[in-house]
Amino acid sequence: MTGSPTPRRSTLLAPVPVGILISGRGSNMEALVRAAQAPNASYKVVCVIANRADAKGLQFAAAHDIPAVVVNHKAFDSREHFEAELSQTLMAHGVRVVALAGFMRVLTAGFVRQWQGRLVNIHPSLLPKFKGLHTHERALEAGEPEHGCTVHWVSEGVDEGEIIGQARVPIKAGDTPETLAARVLAEEHTLYPACLDKICTALRSPQTQST
Ligand code: GAR
């Protein structure tokens, strides 16, 4: 028989290399890293990039032998140059899927197009409600009965991409933005790994392997 040899199964099922972008605490990044430590996980976190040197999450990444890189947006004269460095760093680590995890910079259309279909975000509201900042305060002010979080594909409009998954929590009498944020965050830590696993399981299935 001629043609290229059938790839070995272990090659086909290699975990998908994921890069995570953070700006601060990094608790969602931690949840993603911990989930990736499971045997035969569908993805592997190959780098964590922060746009601030004081992002706390960098310490966790480094302590788990994950390359922890600072790309300080203030060191660049334009968003495009900052993002070019981000992309270069991601590509240098062989990243296939980028997970935004509390990354607080708006990305330009150019960057989004470059990573289209491979760029996901977690947002602390039940999108399409409460795009943008201060979502917990706004949900309380609006008198919502429930709140939650959303994992979505990143598109050119901020917090507008197709929804991958959502988790809901009740809003309780006496809630403050802080108590509500804590209830939502606990759900984020389950939702994000589950959604990323779904994406990466599909990506590494033999049918979707490019070569
Ligand atoms: C999370 O609640 C995340 O959903 C939110 O920032 C927090 C980061 O926490 N993201 C956004 O608001 C994006 N617009 P973490 O650093 O502990 O993961």
Q: Which residues pair with 99 in a beta bridge?
A: 20, 120
CA distance 80 to 134: 27
What spacing in Å lies between the alpha carbon of 101 and ligand 1's midpoint?
Answer: 6
Domain boundaries defined on the chain: 14-210
Q: Using an 8 Å Cβ cutoff, are 33 and 61 in contact?
A: yes
Residue 187 host element (H or E):
helix 177-203
Nearest CA to ligand 1 atom 1: 102
Query: Ligand 1 pocket: which of 119, 123, 154, 160 to mutate (most atoms <8 Å of CB)?
Result: 123
What spacing in Å lies between the alpha carbon of 154 and ligand 1's midpoint?
Answer: 15
Token pair 């086909």 is found at: 12
Residue 121 Cα: closest atom of ligand 1: 13
Q: Using an 8 Å Cβ cutoff, are 170 and 139 in contact?
A: no
Residue 121 clears pLDDT 50, i.e. is over it? yes
Domain over 14-210 is classified CATH 3.40.50.170: yes
Task: Report pLDDT for 206.
Answer: 72
Task: Report pLDDT for 205.
Answer: 78
Measured CA to CA in angstroms, residue 143 lies from 131, 132, 146 at distances of 16, 18, 9
Residue 30 Cα: closest atom of ligand 1: 18
What spacing in Å lies between the alpha carbon of 66 and ligand 1's midpoint?
Answer: 20
Q: pLDDT, tens digit, for every residue of 41-62? A: 999 999 999 999 999 999 999 9
Task: Report pLDDT for 79.
Answer: 96
Task: Report pLDDT for 1.
Answer: 42
Q: Using an 8 Å Cβ cutoff, are 83 and 110 in contact?
A: yes
The SS3 assignment for 151 reads: strand
The SS3 assignment for 185 reads: helix
The verdict on whether 189 is a catalytic residue reads no
208: confidence class by pLDDT, cuts 50, 70, 90: low
Task: Report pLDDT for 152.
Answer: 98
- Identify which of 188, 123, 136 has the alpha carbon closest to the alpha carbon of residue 162: 123
Percent of the chain with pLDDT over 70: 92
CA distance 155 to 177: 28
Task: Report pLDDT for 209.
Answer: 57
Task: Report pLDDT for 207.
Answer: 61
Residue 2 clears pLDDT 50, i.e. is over it? no
Nearest CA to ligand 1 atom 7: 102
Query: Taking residues 109-118, what's their average pLDDT?
Result: 97
Q: Using an 8 Å Cβ cutoff, are 127 and 147 in contact?
A: no
12: confidence class by pLDDT, cuts 50, 70, 90: low
Instruction: Of 12-16, 95-99, 177-181, give the lowest mean pLDDT range.
Output: 12-16
Query: Taking residues 164-173, what's their average pLDDT?
Result: 98
What spacing in Å lies between the alpha carbon of 94 and ligand 1's midpoint?
Answer: 25
